[in-house]
Structure 1
Amino acid sequence: MRGQDLINAVLPDELILEIFNRLDDSKSTRDSSSLVCKRWSNLERLNRRSLRIGVSGSPDSLVKLLLQKFVNVRSVCLDVRLPITAPSQFGPSVGRRFRRRPSSQKKRRYGNVAAGSSAKFHVSPSGSSEEIDLEQNSLSDAGLAALSEATKLEKLSLVWCSNVTSMGLKSIAEKCGSLKSLDLQGCYIGDLGLAAVGQCCKHLEDLNLQFCEGLTDTGLVELAIGCGKSLRILGIAACAKITDISLEAVGSHCISLHTLSLDSESIMNKGILSVAQGCRMLKVLKLQSINVTDEALQAVGKFCSSLELLALYRFQRFTDRSLCAIGNGCKKLRCLTLNDCYFLSDEGLQAIGAGCAELSHLEVNGCHNIGTFGLESIGKFCRKLSELALWYCQRIGNNALSEIGRGCKFLQALHLVDCANIGDDAIYDIAQGCRDLKKLHIRRCYEVGDKAIIAVGENCKHLTDLSLRFCDRIGDDALIAVGQGCPSLRHLNVSGCHQIGDAGLTAIARGCPQLVHLDVSVLQHLTDIALAEVGEGCPLLNEIILSHCRQITDVGITHLVNKCTRLEACHMVYCPSVTSAGVATMVSSCANLKKLLVEKWKISQRTRRRAGSIISYVSIDL
C-alpha cells in the first residue's frame, strides 16, 4: 500500500543479507543497494566482500578506515594505478584530507578508491594547506599491518606497492592464514616475507611474482616447501635472482600445479625439466625469453599429457622437434601461441595438427618459416578450431585459409595482420565454410578486396565485430553487403579504407541498428550525409572515431549528436572543417560524454568551463 514500507518492516536482516549475496559483485550495484536506507547501508557494509583501493597519497590511514567500515572483506586489491577519490561516505575527516584541486578535470569515482600516481592533492593534517606529490607517498608496512586485521582475507593484490617490505608481508601472513591468492607484482619484497607466506598460508593457491626484483631462490624454495600441496598457479617474471634451483623445488613439492608462467633469462633446461617431471597435472604453460632448448620442451610433451594451453614467446633455441613432442604427447591441447619463434617451420605445425585434434585457439605471430602447408594440416585435422590469429605471416597463402574454411566449421574469430599473400579467395572460402563467424579483423592485407567482404556479408549472418584497417581495395560495395546481411554488427572499423564513402556507411547505418563502436578515421570521401545517416540509424552508438575526415563539418556533428544520445567517446583530430562551434555542440548535446579528443585551439572558454564534468581528456595542439 502507498506510504507503507513492505520490505524493511517485514524482512529480517538475514533475508536481506541473503539477497545481497545473490547480487553481482560490481561496485555500482553494491553502492546503489547501500543508498536505499541506513539499514541497507549497514547491512551492505557487513556483506561486502571485495575492495579496490588506490595506494598513492596517504593510503595507510585510508586502509584502516575502510576495514572499519567493511569488516567482512575477503578480497582486497591495492594498486598504485587506480584513481584516488575522497568518498564522503567514509566520514568528514577523509573528505577534508583528500580533496582535489579545483582545476582537476578527472571525474570522481565513489566507493573504491584511487588516482593516477602523478596527481597532486591538498593535505591538511593540522589545518594548514600543503601540496604533496603522490609519487612520494604510497602504501607502507603500516598499511599492511592494518590490513592484517582482516583475518578472513582470501585474496590480496599488491600491485606496484614499492614501499612495502618483507615485514609488512610477514604481518599479513601471520594473521591471514586463509589467504588463497597473492599478487605481488612490482613489489620489492624480500625472501623473509615470502618464506613467512610459505610457513603460515597453507591454503595458498595462486601466486604472482612479476617484477619482484628483491627475491632470490631462498624465498621461493621456502614457499614451495610450505605451500607445495595447495599451490595451483605460479607466475614469475623479471626476477633475475630466481634460477633453476627454485623450479626444482617447485617440481619436487608443487605436485598440484596446473598453471606456470615464466619470463626469465635465468631459467635453463634443468628447471623446466624438473617442473615437467614433477608437475604432471600441468594444464597451462607460458614461457618467454627463456634459454631452454628442445630437451626441455620434449620433456613437457612426454610428461605433461594434461596440457591444454601452451604459449611460447621469443624462443630462438628450439626447433620443430619440440612441437613434434607436444603434438605426440599433449592430446588435450586446446590453445597454442607461437610468437617470434624463428626456427619453427611447417613440420612442427603439421605435428600439432595431426596430434592435437582438440585445438580450438591458434595464434602464429612472426614465425617467418611457417607457411601454407603447416596451416593446411590444422584445417584438415583440428575440426574444433574456433579462433585463428595470423600476424606477420608472409609465407602463408590462400590455400591454407581455404583448407580452414573447408574443415573448421566452428570458426568464430579470424585475425589477419600483414599477411601479404592472403587475398580474396581465402576470405571467400572462409565465409562460405564458416557461417558462424562472429569476429573478422583484417589489417594491411592489401590483396583483400570487395569480393571477400561481400561473401562475408552474404554468408556470415552472426557477424558482430568487423575490422578492415588499411585494406585499400575495399570499397562501398563491401559495406553495402555487410549492411544488408549482418544486422547484429556492433563494432566496425574501416579506418584507412580510402575507397569507402557515404554509400557504404549509409548501408551500415540502415542495416546495423545495434552498432556501438565505429571507426571511420582517414576516410577522405566521407561527408556529413553519412554522419546524418549514422545518427538516424544507430541510436546505441557510444564511440565514434572521425579523425582525419576532412569533409566532415559542424553540420554532420549536429546531426550525429541529435540522435546518438548514448555517445561516450569521440575522436575528431585533424577534421579541418569542424570548428569550435561543432565541439561545443558535441559537449552540450552528449550528456554521457566521457572522452573527447580534439585540437586544443577548438575548445572555447565556455566549452572549457563545461568540460570539467563532461570531457576527461583534451589533446594539446596537434
Structure 2
Amino acid sequence: MSFREKMPTSPKSPLRRRRLSWSGSWLNHQTTSFKQVISAVAQAQSPRSRSKSLSSDFDFPDVDRTLSLPDSLLLKILAKLPESQNDDFSLVCKRWLDLQGRRVRTMKVFDWDFLLSGKLISRFPKLANVDLSNACVNPPRKSGVLLSHKSISFHISSSDSTNWQVNLLQSEMVDRGLRVLGRGGCDLLKLAVTNATELGLLSLAGDCSDLQELELQKCNDNLLRGIAAFENLRALRLVGTVDGLYSSSVSDIGLTILAQGCKRLVKLELSGCEGSFDGVKAIGQCCEVLEEVSICDHRMDDGWIAALSYFESLKTLRISSCGKIDTSPGPEKLLGSCPALESLQLKRCRLSDKEGLRALFKVCDGVKKVIIQDCWGLDDDSFSLAKAFRRVRFLSLERCSVLTTSGLESVILHWEELESMRVVSCKNIKDSEISAALSSLFSLLKELQWRPDTRSHLSSSLEGTGIGKRGSKFFKRR
C-alpha cells in the first residue's frame, strides 16, 4: 500500500484541512497578517481584551475591531507600511480606501474630466502637489504614438507626422479646472499647469493662498498679472516657447510684472522666455531674496547679462540648453558682479561666443563652484576666460571634448583656492600630457576625480600615493 493510500482522506483529517486552506493562505497572507496586527492594537485598547489570553489576541476577528480605532491612530499605523503595499491595504474596505486617499500628497493628473467631475479632490482631499500639465493636452482620437518632451508626455496623430503641434485644452476649460481645484479645499502648495489665463490664476489664489511653488507652461505677459495674488509664492517656473510644441511670449513687460508682484521669490526659472536688460534688471532690483536663477533656451536680447549684477542675494546661476549666451554684452568696464554668487552651472550650451562668455565670467568673478557639462565650443581660448574667477574651490568638467590638457592647466594654476576637481569624459585631456606643475597641484587637492577618457590610468595609479587626498582631514571636518 502506498503512503498516499495510508493517509486519511476524510474532510475532518488534518491533511484535508491543510489542502483546503493552502491556496487561500498564500494569497491573503499579507492582508491577513496586517489585519491581525491592527486587531491586536484594537484589543489592547479594549478593557475586555486584557483578560483574554495572548493566543486569542491574534485570532482572525469575526468582528472588525479596527472600527474602534480613530482615524488619526489608524493613519499613523498605515504610515509604517512600505509604499509597495499601499494599493493592497486600500482594497480591504471602503474606510481604508478613504484613509489611503487622505495619505496621498502628490498627484500627476492625466484625465481632465477626473478633475472637472470633482472626483480628484473627493478621492484625495489632502493633495499638496498637483501636476496638471499632461492633462491640459487634448489627445487625438485613436492615437497610438506617444511623444515625450522633458516633463510633458502626449499623444500625436500617426496620420499627420509633419504637424506635431500640441493640441492643448482651451484656456476656458483650464480655468474651469483651476476653479474646481481651488474650491476643493485641498492644502495646495505646488502646482503645474498649461495654457491657463489670468482669471484662472486669480480664482485659484482666492482659495489656495498658501501656494509656494508654481509652474506655468505656455506662459505669456497677461498671465503673469495673476500671480501677484499668491502672496506666499517662493518658487516660480515660466515656460514660454518650446520649439515644436507650442509658442508663447514672455517679454520685458511680463518680467516687470513678475518683479513687482513676486517680491518674496527664492527660486526662479525662465525657459523659452524673451526679454532684455530692463526686464532682468527689474527682477534683480525687486526680488531682493532671490537665491537661485535658472535660464533655459532663452530668447533674450543682447545686453541682458549686465543686469545680473543687480541680483544682490543670488547664490546659484544655471544656464542650460542655450544656443547663445549674449552676442553683444556691452563694454566690459560697465559690467558689475554678483556679490553673493557661489555656484555657476553651464549645461548643454554653445560656448563658442567668446564675448558673451567673457561677460558672463566677469559678472560671476566671485563664484566658488563651477560646473560645465555637455557644452560644445569650449576650446582652450574660451576656457582661458575663466581666469577671471578669483575664488574657485570646486571645478567639474564633463564631456568637454575640445578642451586640452594645456588649456586646463593654464587656468587652474591661477586658482589659488582650488580644493576639489572632477574631470570626466574629456577626450582631449591626456594623462601623458600632465606636467610637473599640474601633478604638484593634484597632490594638494582634497578631492580629485580624474577620468578624462577610457584610456586614463591616473585614477588607479593614484592609489597609495596620497595625491588628491592630502588635506582630507580638514575636508571631512567641513
* 1:279 aligned residue: 312
Q: Distance in 2 between matches of 1:214 and 1:285?
A: 21
**In the alignment, what sits opposite 1:53?**
109
Letter in 2 for 1:39: R
Q: 1:397 to 1:191 in 2, by over 3 A?
A: same
Deviation string 1:108-156 (CA, Å, 9 cap, x unpaired) is: xxxxxx9742389xxxxxxxxxxxxx95767632222212224521100
Moved more, 216-225 or 296-305: 296-305
- Equivalent residue, structure 1, for 2:258: 223
The structural deviation recorded for 1:51 is 0.9
- The aligned residue for residue 603 of structure 1 is none
Report the alpha carbon displacement of residue 386 of structure 1 after superposing the two structures with TM.
Answer: 5.9
1:147 alignment partner, one of 160, 163, 181: 181
Give the aligned residue type for 2:131. C
Quick one: which of 162, 183, 199 aligns to 1:167? 199
Count of residue correspondences: 374
Q: 1:215 to 1:329 in 2, by over 3 A?
A: closer
Aligned twin of 2:230: 201
Shift of 1:408: 5.1
Q: Classify 1:256/1:364 alpha carbon distance in 2 versus 1 (closer, same or farther; 3 Å).
A: farther
CA distance in 2 between counterparts of 1:7 and 1:146 reads: 37
- CA distance in 2: counterparts of 1:52 and 1:155, whole angstroms: 11
Shift of 1:181: 0.8
Matches within 5 A, 1:393-432: 394=428, 398-400=432-434, 403=439, 406=443, 410-411=447-448, 414=451, 416=453, 424=455, 427-432=456-461
Correspondence list, 1:396-475, <5 A = 398-400=432-434, 403=439, 406=443, 410-411=447-448, 414=451, 416=453, 424=455, 427-433=456-462
Runs of at least 5 residues in structure 1 that lack an aligned partner in the other structure: 85-99, 107-113, 121-133, 417-422, 436-622
Give the structure 2 partner of residue 8 of structure 1.
66
| Root-mean-square deviation over aligned CA pairs | 4.3
Distance 2:237 2:357 in 1: 31
The alpha carbon displacement at 1:201 in A equals 0.4
Q: For the Cα contact (< 8 Å) 1:50–1:76, is it kept in 2? A: yes
* Pairs within 5 Å for 1:535-546: none
CA contact (8 A) 1:248 1:275 kept: yes
Counterparts of 1:366 and 1:334 in 2: how far apart (Å)? Answer: 17
The 1:306/1:245 distance shift into structure 2, 3 A limit, reads closer
Taking the aligned partners of 1:224 and 1:365, their CA distance within structure 2 comes to 36
Name the structure 2 match of 1:333.
Answer: 369
For residues 428 and 342 of structure 1, what CA distance do their matches in structure 2 show?
Answer: 24
Question: Secondary structure of 1:184's match?
Answer: strand
Distance 1:267 1:35, change over 3 A: farther
Quote the Cα distance in structure 1 between the aligned partners of 2:168 and 2:213: 28
Per the TM alignment, residue 235 of structure 1 is displaced from its structure 2 partner at its CA by: 1.4
What SS does structure 1 have at the residue aligned with 2:457? helix
Cα separation, 2, equivalents of 1:377 and 1:410: 18
Please give the per-residue CA displacement for 1:280-313, whole angstroms capped at 9, x wherever unaligned: 3332332632325566999888333332233272
Distance 1:136 1:232, change over 3 A: closer
- Equivalent position amino acid for 1:148 in 2: G
Structure 2 counterparts to residues 544-555 of structure 1, below 5 A = none
CA positional deviation for 1:278: 3.3
| TM-score relative to the length of structure 2 | 0.64
Shift of 1:75: 0.7
Name the CA distance, whole Å, in 2 between partners of 1:6 and 1:174: 42
Partner Cα separation in structure 1 for residue 209 and residue 396 of structure 2: 38
2:60 is aligned with what amino acid?
G
Q: Which has the larger radius of gyration?
A: 2
On the 8 A contact 1:376/1:399 being kept in 2, the answer is no
Counterpart among 322, 339, 350 of residue 304 in structure 1: 339
Answer yes or no: is the 8 Å Cα contact 1:280–1:304 preserved in 2: yes
Quote the offset at 1:9 in angstroms.
Answer: 5.5
Instruction: Return the match for 2:392 from 349, 356, 372.
Output: 356
Rounded Cα–Cα distance in structure 1 between residues aligned with 2:337 and 2:153 = 48
The TM-score, its normalising length taken from structure 1, stands at 0.50
